[in-house]
């Protein structure tokens, strides 16, 4: 027990090491008394915990009349606190991160500026993604995880809806990866990207006040080109199925190869591979390629070979036993992705956010395309690495706290950073902190 407490104290010290006026404390958020005691000692609370904890923290903040900042979406549990927060004179500033957060602030700045010049928003498109830097995108999926892959995989199964040229487009969750489209940004010609629709874009037309004027409202997630094609086929094979698999319920654990063979209905006694220049070839590889094409997962052999390389990179063909805590195909691939697709030492991540707003004017001026781009890479300062995602989520949340401490936010209740009183100073502080936003206008 003494050793456990010593370990906790070391972790707490490391958390605040080098940060002035900071004290670390261990807390069980479900312990309302301890939470209230901690909240009572501060003026503003910043919660970067999972979204499911925010409502409980917000209730304590409202009771004690303390402002709160989060980087998470406003969900139903937070929306229900609107009246209580207003009554207490408390600001619950949500969606103050990257996406949501910086995306809101840039959007509203561009839209409000266009409206101030009597412009009408014809189209609004937004692309955002957390990616490995090009040097770190060194696997078949050109992607890496800094957290559990489960959430990212589930996000790739969400349905989506958006408006394009006046038509409402619904995308079934099972077809999301197939809906990915190629993207090239002229100002970033070295990036081969693709985008997938991100859940409900229509609600942003309402939030931004452009639903009636914009014929296109589209928000998307960015990946490097080729990611979605591979993920779609892994889904077809069955790797994203979350139901318990019969093979994984047995005491005798199957190997990854046996499990893969079962998913593809491959003969387990197929001939073994030989190695050429260190690479396995023939036998089992040929049979897997054949099955991928025969089952209709891949129409061309070139794509089947790419899928095989991904399977081998993830070790899904190996003759080692699957751990006991894997009970479904989904948990198997999550475990493999977590092991094989983590960032290595000194590898950088990258954040890319790009907005395009088409503005038309009633006086005959030519339509303008307003663009804003944020490109940020992970950094290492004084030997301490900080990811681009941590910077672009954490800095806006800190700015939100600063604005509340300085009494620069007058609105009370549960709010987003959509008002000039928030986004104007926030974007200025963001740039002053080193996170650069590039804006341009084309006609």
Q: How far apart are CA 397 and CA 100, in angstroms?
A: 11
Please, are residues 386 and 375 in contact by the beta-carbon 8 Å criterion? no
The phi-psi region of residue 315 (left if phi > 0; otherwise alpha if psi is between -120 and 50; otherwise beta) is: left
Q: How far apart are CA 213 and CA 166, in angstroms?
A: 10
Q: Which of 362, 357, 355 is nearest to 122 (CA)?
A: 357
Query: H or E stretch including 404?
Result: helix 388-405
Q: Which of 198, 202, 200, 168 is nearest to 181 (CA)?
A: 198
Catalytic residue among 99, 103, 285, 349: 99
Query: H or E stretch including 259?
Result: helix 256-264
Q: How far apart are CA 407 and CA 402, in angstroms?
A: 9
Cα 382 versus chain centre, distance: 27
Coil/strand/helix, residue 332: helix
Q: How far apart are CA 306 and CA 287, in angstroms?
A: 14
Q: What share of the chain is helix, strand, coil (3-state, %, to 5)?
A: 40, 25, 35
Q: How far apart are CA 173 and CA 160, in angstroms?
A: 7
Q: Which of 413, 396, 355 is nearest to 201 (CA)?
A: 355
Is 103 in the active site? no
Q: How far apart are CA 159 and CA 403, in angstroms?
A: 36
Q: How far apart are CA 89 and CA 112, in angstroms?
A: 27
The phi-psi region of residue 411 (left if phi > 0; otherwise alpha if psi is between -120 and 50; otherwise beta) is: beta
Distances (CA, A) of 106 to 131, 313, 339, 394: 20, 39, 36, 17
As a three-state string, the secondary structure of 152-213 is HHHHCCCCEEEEECCEEEEECHHHCHHHCEEEEECCEEEEEEEEEECCECHHHHHHCCCCCC
Taking residue 177's Cβ as centre, other Cβ atoms within 10 Å add up to: 23
Which residues are known to be catalytic? 99
């Amino acid at each position: 027990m003494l050793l456990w407490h010593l370990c906790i104290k070391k972790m707490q010290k490391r958390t605040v090491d080098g940060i002035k006026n900071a004290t670390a404390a261990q807390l069980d958020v479900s312990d309302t008394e301890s939470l209230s005691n901690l909240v009572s000692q501060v003026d503003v609370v910043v919660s970067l915990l999972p979204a499911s904890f925010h409502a409980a923290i917000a209730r304590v903040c409202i009771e004690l009349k303390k402002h709160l900042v989060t980087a998470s979406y406003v969900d139903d549990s937070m929306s229900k606190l609107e009246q209580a927060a207003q009554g207490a004179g408390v600001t619950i500033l949500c969606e103050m991160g990257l996406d949501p957060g910086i995306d809101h602030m840039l959007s509203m700045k561009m839209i409000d500026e266009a409206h101030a010049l009597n412009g009408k928003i014809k189209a609004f498109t937004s692309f955002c993604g957390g990616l490995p830097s090009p040097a770190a995108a060194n696997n078949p999926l050109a992607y890496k995880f800094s957290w559990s892959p489960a959430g990212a995989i589930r996000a790739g199964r969400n349905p989506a809806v958006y408006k394009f040229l006046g038509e409402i487009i619904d995308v079934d969750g099972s077809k999301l990866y197939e809906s990915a489209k190629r993207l090239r940004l002229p100002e970033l010609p070295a990036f081969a990207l693709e985008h997938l629709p991100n859940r409900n874009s229509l609600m942003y037309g309402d939030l931004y006040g452009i639903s009636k004027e914009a014929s296109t409202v589209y928000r998307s997630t960015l990946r490097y080109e080729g990611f979605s094609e591979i993920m779609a086929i892994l889904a077809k094979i069955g790797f994203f199925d979350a139901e318990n698999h019969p093979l994984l319920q047995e005491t005798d654990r199957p190997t990854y190869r046996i499990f893969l063979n079962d998913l593809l209905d491959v003969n387990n006694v197929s001939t073994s591979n030989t190695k050429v220049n260190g690479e396995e070839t023939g036998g089992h590889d040929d049979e897997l390629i054949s099955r991928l094409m025969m089952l209709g997962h891949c129409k061309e052999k070139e794509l089947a070979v790419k899928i095989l390389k991904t399977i081998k990179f993830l070790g899904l063909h190996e003759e080692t036993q699957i751990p006991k805590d894997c009970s479904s195909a989904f948990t198997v691939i999550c475990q493999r992705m977590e092991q094989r697709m983590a960032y290595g030492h000194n590898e950088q991540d990258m954040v890319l956010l790009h907005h395009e707003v088409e503005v038309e004017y009633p006086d005959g001026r030519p339509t303008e395309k307003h663009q804003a781009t944020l490109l940020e890479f992970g950094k290492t300062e004084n030997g301490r690495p900080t990811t681009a995602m941590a910077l672009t989520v954490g800095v806006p949340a800190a700015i939100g706290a600063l604005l509340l401490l300085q009494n620069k936010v007058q609105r009370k209740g549960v709010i987003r950073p959509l008002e000039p009183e928030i986004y104007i100073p926030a974007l200025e502080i963001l740039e002053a902190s080193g996170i650069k936003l590039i804006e341009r206008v084309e006609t």
